[in-house]
């Protein structure tokens, strides 16, 4: 990995830490926010383009709504790869409890993709579909694994897509 990747990752971690400190003033509302810190392998199915990624996602518990598909809530997040590709998204996730400690979470999130030195996905507008399984390790933390696919739904001249998997730390603050 190049130094530029480490610099950007460090900057992201500083910004996340700063946002948590700023929100600490309103401590009673912090438990209503779930933060998902994740890392994994971007486009693992393409040997020439696969890359390490790090990401962050926010979900506000106050905005959950019961729908005919289950409990839905908005998500916002983004990730960056070691090749300076970046994806920023907002969408919706559904949470399904599978017992006391296990949760299944599918999601859909349109977003903006910048290829940097990474894979050309064919268009700036991309759509991320994801499935995640997580296991509660405490009242406010879970560990999970997820798989996602990013595609432009043939909006561009080409649509190679990207398949990724990640390891997730989900924390309620």
Lowest mean pLDDT among 11-15, 98-102, 138-142, 157-161: 11-15
pLDDT score for 143:
98
The pLDDT score that the predictor gives to residue 56 is: 97
DSSP sequence for 66-126: EETTEEEEEEEEEEEETTS-EEEEEEEEEEEE-SSSEEEEEEEEEEEEE-TTS---S-SEE
* Averaged pLDDT for residues 18-29: 44
Domain harbouring 127, CATH code: 2.40.160.20
> Which of 13-17, 56-60, 96-100, 130-134 has the least mean pLDDT?
13-17
Reported pTM = 0.81
pLDDT exceeds 90 at position 164:
yes
pLDDT tens-place string over residues 119-157 = 999 999 999 999 999 999 999 999 999 999 999 999 999
Q: Give pLDDT, residue 23.
A: 44
- pLDDT tens digits along 32-78: 899 999 999 999 999 999 999 999 999 987 888 888 888 899 999 99
Question: Please, what is the average pLDDT of the chain?
Answer: 87
Residue pair 95/124 in contact by the 8 Å Cβ criterion: no
Phi (first) and psi of residue 17, to 5 degrees: -60, -45
Alpha carbons 73 and 161: distance in angstroms, whole number: 25
Domain count, the chain: 1
Q: Which pLDDT belongs to residue 51? A: 97
Token duo for residue 115 = 């290829």
Q: How far is CA 173 from CA 44, 97, 142, 157, 170, in A?
A: 32, 20, 12, 43, 10
- 134: domain range? 3-172
């Amino acid at each position: 990995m190049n130094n530029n990747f480490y610099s950007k990752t460090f900057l992201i971690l500083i910004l996340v830490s700063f946002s948590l400190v700023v929100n600490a003033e309103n401590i009673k509302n912090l438990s209503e926010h779930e933060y998902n810190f994740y890392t994994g392998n971007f486009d693992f199915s393409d040997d020439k383009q696969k890359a390490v990624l790090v990401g962050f996602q926010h979900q506000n518990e106050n905005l959950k709504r019961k729908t005919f598909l289950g409990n839905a809530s908005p998500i916002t997040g983004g990730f960056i790869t070691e090749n300076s590709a970046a994806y920023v998204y907002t969408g919706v996730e559904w949470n399904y409890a599978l017992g006391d400690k296990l949760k299944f979470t599918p999601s859909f999130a349109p977003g903006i993709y910048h290829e940097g030195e990474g894979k050309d996905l064919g268009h700036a507008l991309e759509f991320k579909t994801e499935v995640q399984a997580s296991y509660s390790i405490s009242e406010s933390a879970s560990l999970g694994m997820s798989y996602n696919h990013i595609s432009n739904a043939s909006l561009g001249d080409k649509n190679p897509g990207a398949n990724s998997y990640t390891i997730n730390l989900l924390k309620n603050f």
